[in-house]
Amino acid sequence: MEQFLPSVVKHSSEATVYVADNASTDDSNAFLQTHFPEVHILQNKENGGYAKGYNDALKNVTEDLFVLLNNDVEVSENWLSPILSEFEKDHTLVAAQPKLLDYKNKDYFEYAGAGGGFLDAFGYPFCRGRIFHTLEKDQGQYNDILPIFWASGACLFVKRDAFWKAGAFDEDLFAHQEEIDLCWRLHSQGGNIKYIGRSTVYHLGGATLSTANPQKTFYNFRNTLLVLVKNRGGAKVWWLIFQRLVLDAAAGLQFLLQGKISHFWAILRAHFSFYGFLPKFLQKRKKHANSLKYWKIKCLVCKYFISKKRTFNNL
């Protein structure tokens, strides 16, 4: 926060800046009150993760447009203007994201959102500028405005009314994939979501859980299955889930062969947790499942690992 909040305060004159304190146990609040008295503090009573943390905090925010920004993001000058302009022009727009570049290597896209998010039929998320762990260099190829399926939770613009109408974040997901679940519901309500490449922010990434942390593996694998069950309509979802479980098993075997035992175990835990949550998500399915075509391509694993298509424009 000490490193990244100054850029937000400096370059966000159009906005009211809030910090949601998710029941921190350090001296964050004292630091804010001393160094950033103009920033409003939203104090949560418990750490409910990304999903519940935002849900609790946003109940106290009355502005028409939320900008949910991770605390490890550096914003650039005039980062808000292109996106605010697009919301003013397009009244069907309910959510958006800017270009996300890597704070550590600013010529390259960043994992968590890059140039706008999509899904394949099996629920694997990918972005323009990032497929699995392959990151593209930013050469202006994604400086456009484009409809996308999901906008990154690292820097998510979303209309307040649409956010609450969609049911806010699903707190059972805790962290990871919750923005994809939200965007799916926003689409099902008839809203549009866009990537706006004329705005740029720089994301450090891994501040909550690094890619080396098996708990990140756990949440990503479990939550993808839960999001599919909840939102994908039709009986074919069960055949799809079975195929996804097989692909997960292959990923687990790869982790095992690489000696990454903790990640192998994380996938096993993810599947057992998925089964535990299944009855609850079957109830959610009755309300949220829809026939929306959510996938950009059928099988990202096939394209990436078999056909060796490593960039978005080659898919």
Q: What is the pLDDT of residues 274-297, one digit of tens each?
A: 999 999 999 999 999 999 999 999
Please report whether residue 128 resides in a domain: no
Please report whether residue 293 resides in a domain: yes
* Amino acid (one-letter) located at 135: L
Model confidence at 207: pLDDT above 60: no
The per-residue DSSP string of 242-287 comes to HHHHHHHHHHHHHHHHTT-HHHHHHHHHHHHHHHHHHHHHHHHHHH
Rounded Cα distance between 294 and 290, Å, is 10
Tokens of 17: 């800046």
Q: How would you label 295-314 residue by residue, b for 16+ Cβ within 10 Å and e otherwise?
A: bbeebbeebbeeeebbebee
Domain count, the chain: 1
Facing residues of 93 across strands? 192
Please report whether residue 279 resides in a domain: yes
- Among 174, 121, 137, CA closest to 294: 121
For 110-121, what is each residue's pLDDT tens digit? Answer: 999 999 999 999
pLDDT of residue 209: 55
* Amino acid (one-letter) located at 165: K
220: three-class secondary structure by DSSP: helix
Domain span including residue 236? 214-307
Are 160 and 66 contacting, i.e. CB atoms less than 8 angstroms apart? Answer: yes
- Among 265, 172, 185, CA closest to 225: 172
In the chain, % helix, strand, coil (3-state, to 5) comes to 40, 20, 35
pLDDT of residue 212: 76
Continuous H helices in the chain: 5-10, 28-35, 49-58, 81-89, 160-165, 178-188, 214-231, 237-257, 261-288, 300-301
Please report whether residue 263 resides in a domain: yes
pLDDT band at 211 (very low <50, low <70, confident <90, very high): low
Please report whether residue 231 resides in a domain: yes
Please report whether residue 70 resides in a domain: no
* Amino acid (one-letter) located at 136: E
pLDDT band at 246 (very low <50, low <70, confident <90, very high): very high
Please report whether residue 228 resides in a domain: yes
The per-residue DSSP string of 146-175 comes to EE-SB--TTEEEEEHHHHHHTTS--GGG-S
Please report whether residue 35 resides in a domain: no
Rounded to two decimals, what is the model's pTM? 0.96
Rounded Cα distance between 181 and 229, Å, is 11
Model confidence at 208: pLDDT above 60: no
